[in-house]
Amino acid sequence: QVQLVESGGGSVQAGGSLRLSCAASGRTVSSYAMGWFRQAPGKEREFVASINWSGTNTYYADSVKGRFTISRVNAKNTVYLQMNSLKPEDTAVYYCATPPPNYDYWGRGTQVTVSS
């Protein structure tokens, strides 16, 4: 069993920043690749970013590239999503998940709202 708990969401003005955290617990969590996904109202869930077990390889959706940064601290079993230059279209529920390719484990999500 793997448990994932997101935090750090909230409301911010356009151009602002937020840092999301995903605390993981369970078997061999620190060695898992991790992903962030989001789902906006009326839209399907989409990939945001992912990071491998060591933190040396990262991938980003084109829509967030250059603005968002994914990182992890394995000693804390935590993955982060630093979100800068936020836009209203970033408004969504953000989820962390593991492992690829099927992402069998998901957190409950954290709401991010960006106002203009």
Beta strand residue intervals within 1-116, DSSP E: 2-7, 10-13, 18-26, 34-39, 46-51, 58-60, 68-73, 78-83, 92-98, 105-106, 110-115
User: What's the one-letter identity of residue 42?
Assistant: G
Listed range (62-66, 101-105, 111-115) with the worst mean pLDDT: 101-105
pLDDT (0 to 100) of residue 29: 60
Mean pLDDT of 37-62: 95
Portion of the chain with pLDDT greater than 90, in percent? 81
pLDDT reading at 31 higher than 70: no
Mean pLDDT across the stretch 92-114?
A: 94
The bridge status of strand 18-26 relative to strand 10-13 is unpaired
**Does residue 21 surpass a pLDDT of 70?**
yes
Give the model's pLDDT for residue 27. Answer: 72
Question: Which amino acid, 92?
Answer: A
